[in-house]
Structure 1
Amino acid sequence: MNLAEAIIQKNIEKHPIKSAIGFKKKEAGWKELSWKKFSEIVFRTANSLKNAGIQENDKVAIYSENSSEWVIFDLAAISIGAISVPIYSTNNAEQAEYIIQDSGAKIILVGEQAQYDICLELLQKEDNHLDTIIVSKKAVWIKKEFNSFYLEDFIAKSSPKLEFCPKENNDIATLIYTSGTTGTPKGVMLTHGNFVKAFDAHFEFFKFKNFEEELSLAFLPLSHVFERSWSLLCLYGGARVYFLEDPKNIAKALEEVKPTMMCAVPRFFQKVYAGVLEKAEEGSSLKKKIFDWALKTGWQTAELKRNEKPIPFGLKIKESISESLVFSKIKDRMGGRLWFLPCGGASLSPEVTKFFESVGIHITVGYGLTETTATLTLFPLTHFEHGTSGKPLPGVEIRIGENDEIQAKGNGIMSGYYNKPEETQKVFTEDGWFKTGDAGKIDDKGNLIITDRLKDLMKTSNGKYIAPQQIENLLTNNNFIQQIVLIAEGRQFVSALIVPNFEFLHDFVKKNNIQLTTWEETLKNDKIMDFYKEKIKELQSQLSDYEKVKKFTLMPAEFEISTGEITPTLKVKRNVVLKKYADLIEKMY
């Protein structure tokens, strides 16, 4: 079945006047569209694409921040059998042009002036497939003589009725270009069946109750497989999805929208966790005692719930007091209603998942890739194991291959890389298993444990193997460390480039009467260096000696997407950073 049909048809038949999506425009409040209204706009857009010459299997690109228009354009393209090609809104001209040219996209939706200007320049080049630019915002200045249209005008005269283009499970629905921590981005071909079967597997796995009453807030980029798959799954199940344009406004949006569900990356949870602990430390001794008591009570309750055991009456009373005095305040900062939070993109330490579970918020840690339609394994609602990546979804098989590589088979595995048969062949074994490139193991209860990216494993000159992600995770659980890159390959000891959390460091500077000039100068202060030496010593006390960071350099600015140092999903491009800061690294040795 056509993916868009699977999402839209049953919902407009079942509850046409129920809200489907929510969005916010500038300073106006949040607005909603019912399934009937939402589907009509999708159909108008789909018919307009057909009128513009888009045929089955043509490529339609989206180069925009999250918005209602994003998901409308996506489903419209898929409805008529076209292939949707998302591009990160943060991609520069060179990156965007590569994806547009490689995919052969004919029409593109853009959100901001910068994105329009990039596409306009490309449109005027001779050997290019791009024919039309659609702009979602009237605030963007366009040149109409160059086949540029505002979305509102583009769809104005089209019919709100549509017959979905019939599709088989193996037909391509989308090309998602890998964000590329190494090498050239590759277009991952995901099918209609990949998505629909993955959605069904999730519902079978969790057996949600009253899923139609849930509300999800989409703040991660829809261009990434994680947010897109999750948001489409929510719509497929009849839940509402609100789209946040600027992720920097997440704190305010949580309080306004009050979502019940939301997918997020580990850094989000690390920041909340570190922030709460920091505030507890700053409180009076009485408040600290109450906090510690509440956390202990919450953990006892959480463990009984995890193992589906009854909670004694006395513990229920304690839990109620803990909720009133401590946990409700933490939850209110996150909207007050969140209970289910899928987490992916990198590993998350068990200290963080245990903390949230104690508070009464379930983080569903999962593991997957763009090439596997996001999820391969994840925490169930009960009987999960902290420190693992959970169990395989129904229809997914996992095995550990050569060099401890995780390999997978199942409904979500991609068809291959677009126009790259040799690259496709490299990532499949002769017997058809997909090679993830990650190292791991399976415990005696069937849970997957991720060790590290095989490409990231480092070997010191002493022959010791270092798994950087685990150590980087441990250190970024602290509020004073925003980003970190470990260096160990071929070296006699582990060193690190550390980006401080400047917000917290600013408070430290003020309290210690340190003169703040530029961060470059201020970070050289002995008090700051000694503070970080002590902090790092404390954080890595449980590590083996050969794993510990012996020397580090404090960086005066964050690694940025615009400079190519991190991907749009905030993963560090290790090769880029190591090359760019080679001189700084050498000084540590």
Structure 2
Amino acid sequence: MNLAEVIIKKNVEKHPLKSAVGFKKKDAGWKELSWNKLSEIIYKTANSLKNMGIEENDRVTIYADNSAEWVIFDLAIMSIGAITVPIYSTNNQEQAEFILKDSGSKMVLVGNQIQYDACLSILQKEETELKSIIISKKAVWIKKEFSSFYLEDFIAKSSSKLEFTPREKDDTATIIYTSGTTGNPKGVVIPHGNFINVFNAHFEYYQFKNFEEELSLAFLPLTHVFERSWSLLCLYGGARVYFLEDPKDIAKELVEVKPTMMCTVPRFLQKVFAGVLDKAEEGSPLKKKIFGWALQNGKQTAEYKRTGSKIPFGLKAKETIANLLVYSKIKEKLGGRLWFIPCGGASLSPEVTQFFESVDIHITVGYGLTETTATLTAFPFRNFVHGTCGKALPGVELRIGENDEIQAKGNGIMKGYYNQPEETRKVFTEDGWFKTGDAGKIDAEGNLTITDRLKDLMKTSNGKYIAPQMIENLLTNNNFIQQIVLIAEGKQFVSALIVPNFEFLKDYLKKNSISFTNWEEIVHKKEIIDFYKEKIKEIQQPLSDFEKVKKFTLMPAEFEISSGEITPTLKVKRNIVLKKYADIIEKMY
């Protein structure tokens, strides 16, 4: 039941020479490692960990960007029965120190100079349990006298043969610290059995054909349970996984790598959707007409596919032409081969999923948490309902509890929060159901709809309840809005802090001959504020009057991870933003 053993052994035995992982070397393009070569490096790394005194149940941290080294270290740690503790590569020294100290990690893998310098400072403190630092890249300058080793040197003399440490299904594989929208993060304890059970549930649910031929591009942080679980699932099933170090390169690398699968977050899909619509709007009247025609045909075809019905011959013929004229061009921007995209982390509006289904890319909207080893529910291939989060995977039970809270049982539920029995007790009911903290409803067919985070629900001074995520999601579907934070708690009306999509806004300025100086000046220009007023008025038409944003402030810069305003998974830390911009908010009232 050792997760690493299950993943590695069956693939090495089945197809030793088949490519397993891909990575990009500077100035050398994408390279691959076969299952044989990957296993050899993992075994050498695992033996090196043991040689350095790492034992069963010791915690070992990974504090680095996505890379082949990341997953190699992860699998090596679990191979010997130790426990992987990921830290977001964007976390600062204070955040990293909290996790290293709280977990009692003895060793850490880092990927760049900033991460190394932070860990070196931590290692030199008396109260730390950190004993050594491994560095994945030789470009990083290190101090060898402080137990610092380049990974290449660290594993050079180790044996490439390994005896896996036996693990029971309830033995801990990893402690994943939540990104913490409020307070300090908590360490979620996930055992080996959770991953294997969740992987098997996915394969039972989807009945993939020729999964070993798939190629996934990992661009979300491996620190997050979503990308890590998805990438390990792909390896478990024998598919290839390419690891993208810098997510900012995603547009370029999609075209180079040409993945067939890729997990993502709603914002990525919203940006693609908005970009396509904007491009179509710029076209000639004929091109606009062709685009509209193609999209309409795509929606009709997608609906037949969704229900499993036979597509009429005439519609098939139209679809062939639409694909040639429109869809193929959209798909080429995404590499040309993408067909399956799991998406989670926040709600995604029906018009976005319908658009991608129209161009024959299946967006598998899902719902889950770190505490549930990612997926609880997901769209099936047939008879899914747009606007929902799909149905429960095999082995998952759901119910709606007090205050419409979604509660779950199943073999993906965490063991608890590390060293926090009281916090663990708070999130379980007396009869053993995990309380997600999300409000939702389940229809007669078992489709789950998230209504909001319970702690995010806002009550205006008029007694009206506002569900901010739904409204924020509606507004950020527009290509001129990058980020938004709604304000309503205790207020007489809804207001918002809005970060423009500066790329689209810059084009708008150019087309309308509005001189550009800096964004601070632009967001205060009357014509820009009026432009956004009209946009927001148009977008908000479906909302009830009490839900509509009445006043807003345009922000001159994006909310940043480094400033603590958003988490590494791009979720706004609402409390921090409200506190930081309290003066601006007060002026709107």
How would you bin the TM-score normalised by the shorter chain? over 0.9
Aligned partner of 2:75 in structure 1 is 75
1:346 partner SS: coil
Q: Distance in 1 between matches of 2:283 and 2:514?
A: 24
Q: Distance in 2 between matches of 1:379 and 1:59?
A: 35
Q: Distance in 1 between matches of 2:343 and 2:511?
A: 35
Aligned partner of 1:312 in structure 2 is 312
Question: Could you give the per-residue CA deviations for residues 234-282 of structure 1, whole angstroms, max 9, x where no partner exists?
Answer: 0000000000000000001100000000000000000000000011111
Q: Distance in 1 between matches of 2:105 and 2:27?
A: 34
Matched, 1:121 2:127: no
The residue correspondences of 1:98-247 to structure 2 (distance < 5 A) are: 98-247=98-247
Matched, 1:298 2:298: yes
Aligned partner of 1:439 in structure 2 is 439
Offset of 1:525 from its aligned partner? Answer: 1.0
Aligned partner of 1:92 in structure 2 is 92
Matched, 1:364 2:364: yes
2:491 partner SS: coil
- Which amino acid in 1 is paired with 2:506? H
Offset of 1:510 from its aligned partner? Answer: 1.6
Q: Distance in 1 between matches of 2:444 and 2:479?
A: 35
Q: Distance in 1 between matches of 2:182 and 2:386?
A: 30
1:503 partner SS: helix
Matched, 1:275 2:275: yes
The residue correspondences of 1:463-542 to structure 2 (distance < 5 A) are: 463-542=463-542
Q: Distance in 2 between matches of 1:519 and 1:254?
A: 30
- Which amino acid in 1 is paired with 2:67? S
Aligned partner of 2:50 in structure 1 is 50
Q: Distance in 2 between matches of 1:468 and 1:392?
A: 25
Q: Distance in 2 between matches of 1:317 and 1:56?
A: 61
Q: Distance in 2 between matches of 1:52 and 1:496?
A: 53
Q: Distance in 1 between matches of 2:107 and 2:217?
A: 28
Question: Could you give the per-residue CA deviations for residues 459-508 of structure 1, whole angstroms, max 9, x where no partner exists?
Answer: 11111110000000000001100000000001110000000001111111
Offset of 1:26 from its aligned partner? Answer: 1.8
4+ aligned runs moved over 3 Å, structure 1 = none
The residue correspondences of 1:413-424 to structure 2 (distance < 5 A) are: 413-424=413-424
TM (norm. structure 1) is 1.00
- Which amino acid in 2 is paired with 1:585? I
Question: Could you give the per-residue CA deviations for residues 412-451 of structure 1, whole angstroms, max 9, x where no partner exists?
Answer: 0000000000000000000000000000000121100000
Q: Distance in 2 between matches of 1:540 and 1:3?
A: 48
Matched, 1:378 2:378: yes
- Which amino acid in 1 is paired with 2:250? I
- Which amino acid in 1 is paired with 2:566? I
Question: Could you give the per-residue CA deviations for residues 162-193 of structure 1, whole angstroms, max 9, x where no partner exists?
Answer: 01100000000000000001121000000000
Q: Distance in 2 between matches of 1:477 and 1:133?
A: 43
Aligned partner of 1:37 in structure 2 is 37
Q: Distance in 2 between matches of 1:527 and 1:5?
A: 62
Offset of 1:517 from its aligned partner? Answer: 1.4
Aligned partner of 2:331 in structure 1 is 331
Question: Could you give the per-residue CA deviations for residues 78-115 of structure 1, whole angstroms, max 9, x where no partner exists?
Answer: 00000000000000010000000000000100000000
- Which amino acid in 1 is paired with 2:510? K
Q: Distance in 2 between matches of 1:265 and 1:26?
A: 27
2:534 partner SS: helix
2:54 partner SS: coil
Q: Distance in 2 between matches of 1:501 and 1:192?
A: 42
Aligned partner of 2:579 in structure 1 is 579
Matched, 1:566 2:566: yes
2:242 partner SS: strand
1:455 partner SS: helix
2:31 partner SS: strand
- Which amino acid in 2 is paired with 1:542? P
- Which amino acid in 1 is paired with 2:333? R
Q: Distance in 1 between matches of 2:26 and 2:531?
A: 42
Question: Could you give the per-residue CA deviations for residues 304-363 of structure 1, whole angstroms, max 9, x where no partner exists?
Answer: 011000011111100000000000000000000000000000000001000000010000
Q: Distance in 1 between matches of 2:27 and 2:243?
A: 15
Offset of 1:141 from its aligned partner? Answer: 0.1
Offset of 1:370 from its aligned partner? Answer: 0.2
Offset of 1:27 from its aligned partner? Answer: 2.2
Offset of 1:584 from its aligned partner? Answer: 0.2
Offset of 1:60 from its aligned partner? Answer: 0.5
Q: Distance in 2 between matches of 1:456 and 1:523?
A: 28
TM (norm. structure 2) is 1.00
Matched, 1:2 2:2: yes
- Which amino acid in 2 is paired with 1:416? G
Q: Distance in 1 between matches of 2:549 and 2:27?
A: 46
Offset of 1:43 from its aligned partner? Answer: 0.4
1:341 partner SS: strand
Q: Distance in 1 between matches of 2:507 and 2:395?
A: 50
- Which amino acid in 2 is paired with 1:556? P
- Which amino acid in 1 is paired with 2:511? K
Aligned partner of 2:258 in structure 1 is 258
Q: Distance in 2 between matches of 1:330 and 1:163?
A: 48
**18-27 or 227-236: bigger deviation:** 18-27
Offset of 1:514 from its aligned partner? Answer: 1.7
Offset of 1:515 from its aligned partner? Answer: 2.0
2:456 partner SS: coil
Q: Distance in 1 between matches of 2:570 and 2:271?
A: 14
Q: Distance in 2 between matches of 1:286 and 1:521?
A: 38
- Which amino acid in 1 is paired with 2:419? N
- Identity over the aligned pairs, expressed in percent? 79
2:133 partner SS: strand
Aligned partner of 2:551 in structure 1 is 551
Question: Could you give the per-residue CA deviations for residues 20-42 of structure 1, whole angstroms, max 9, x where no partner exists?
Answer: 00000222110000000000000
- Which amino acid in 2 is paired with 1:449? T
1:204 partner SS: helix
Offset of 1:527 from its aligned partner? Answer: 1.1
Q: Distance in 1 between matches of 2:208 and 2:326?
A: 28
- Which amino acid in 2 is paired with 1:531? F
Q: Distance in 2 between matches of 1:475 and 1:557?
A: 18
